[in-house]
Structure 1
Amino acid sequence: MNAPANALFNAATLANIEEAGSSVLILAEGLEKEELLHSRITRVEATRLLQVLAECLAQLPPELHEAMPELAWDGWRSTARQLQQTGQPCDEALWFAVLSLVPATLMWLRTYRHNQPELFSFAA
């Protein structure tokens, strides 16, 4: 890909991350851990969205990892692996992502959008 195509891909991927993260927070809003884990439909959709988010983060190039060092890159890789498991590892990864990882990621993305708007720009 050429530089403009890379920039567009990165901006679109970051937009997908923000959308998936916001959707997870909306789905889980007001739920306690046990409520989330026992709500089959909400749990399945939240897990799917977290997997989308983790996949999108994994597709971003090393330059963006360097430009956004505060994102929990290793935490997302680990969470993605745990979400593919069953039982307690998946439960814990789901709750940790909803409670901590997604809010922190969205907060940092807002900060980066403010400080480095070119990373989020769809202008080629």
Structure 2
Amino acid sequence: MNATSNNLYVASLLANFFEAGWAIQVLVGDASQAQYEASRLARPEVEKHLRHMADTARNLPEDVRGQMPRVDWESWVELGEHLPPRDAKARALVWTVIEAWLPPAGQELRRYRRQLPELWRFEM
């Protein structure tokens, strides 16, 4: 992969990760855990976006992840092993991700976008 295509690849992965997180926050809104788990529409979409985030974290080059150490990329990668959630423990993990992982990850990615704009640029 040449430098230009690698830059586009990284920028697209970072944008996709961020946008999937944002979509989850919109889908969940201010729902409680019980409301979320009872949702036949939002829950599968959230799980789809979480899968996308886990896959994206796994595909993000290690050197790029290393430039953003305040995002726990390894935990995002490991999340993929629990999707779709097939038991109560995995469902509890999904809710933890929604409540405790997403807000700080989004905040850190916004900070990194300001600090490392070259990673986020879609330029040829």
TM over 0.5: yes
Q: Distance in 1 between matches of 2:85 and 2:120?
A: 33
Q: Which residue pairs with 2:57 in the alignment?
A: 57
Superposed structure 1 runs of 4+ greater than 4 Å apart = none
The equivalences for 1:90-101 within 5 A come to 90-101=90-101
Q: Which residue pairs with 2:14 in the alignment?
A: 14
In structure 2, runs of 5+ residues without a counterpart are none
Q: Distance in 2 between matches of 1:14 and 1:29?
A: 23
**TM-score normalised by length of structure 2:** 0.94
Deviation string 1:19-46 (CA, Å, 9 cap, x unpaired) is 1110000001110011101112111110
Q: Which residue pairs with 1:27 in the alignment?
A: 27
Q: Distance in 2 between matches of 1:79 and 1:53?
A: 9
In structure 1, runs of 5+ residues without a counterpart are none
For 2:25, what is the secondary structure of its paired residue?
helix
Letter in 2 for 1:3: A
**TM-score normalised by length of structure 1:** 0.94
Q: Distance in 1 between matches of 2:16 and 2:85?
A: 24
Q: Distance in 2 between matches of 1:13 and 1:78?
A: 17
